[in-house]
Amino acid sequence: MKTSNFLLFFAIYGFIAGGMMLFNANGSLVNYGIQPIDQFHIVILQYLGLVNITVGLLIFLLRNEQSEKVINAILLYGLITCVGSFLKACYDIFLKDVPSNTFFWVDMSFRLLVGLVCAFFIFRANKTNEQPLFS
């Protein structure tokens, strides 16, 4: 798979996840098992959805960028965000006893997969060019 194709997929994922958070915050909170749902949860999730949509738009617009630094920065963002959110979820569930559900684990596993694919593309690009990630 070409890096630009993966970035297109990553942008679409950002649009879908962000759109669900922004336009269906109540339903998203129900899927994650948040009870009771109040206006503060909804507003915070909508702000996060707007951020996801904005980042998805930036990734979409920059997916065919020729600069390796730009592509590596996008992939590094994906790696840190996706793997970091998985690790934070594990911390919350196993050490803080935050309740989880099946949807939550499916979502977190998918994020981990996306983050690991970002890592794959970072290392593949750097291996073929034999230069540091950021120089």
Domain ranges of the chain: 3-129
Distant-in-sequence, close-in-space partners of 10: CB < 8 Å, separation ≥ 6: 56, 59, 74, 78, 114, 118
Q: For 35-57, how does the pLDDT look when each residue is reduced to its tens digit (9 = 90+)?
A: 889 999 999 999 999 999 999 99
Q: List Cα–Cα distances, 101 to 58, 77, 105, 115, in angstroms.
A: 31, 27, 7, 21
pLDDT at 125 exceeding the cut of 90: no
pLDDT band at 3 (very low <50, low <70, confident <90, very high): very high
Question: What length does the chain have?
Answer: 135
59/65 Cα distance (integer angstroms): 10
124/107 Cα distance (integer angstroms): 26
Contact in structure between 72 and 121 (CB atoms under 8 Å): no
Give the residue from 27, 75, 79 showing the smallest Cα distance to 49.
27
Residue with token string 């983050």: 115
pLDDT at 131 exceeding the cut of 70: no
pLDDT at 33 exceeding the cut of 60: yes
Which amino acid is it at 75?
L
pLDDT band at 134 (very low <50, low <70, confident <90, very high): low
Q: For 65-113, how does the pLDDT look when each residue is reduced to its tens digit (9 = 90+)?
A: 999 999 999 999 999 999 999 999 999 999 998 888 898 899 999 999 9
pLDDT, residue 24, reads 94
A 10 A CB-CB count for 66 gives: 6
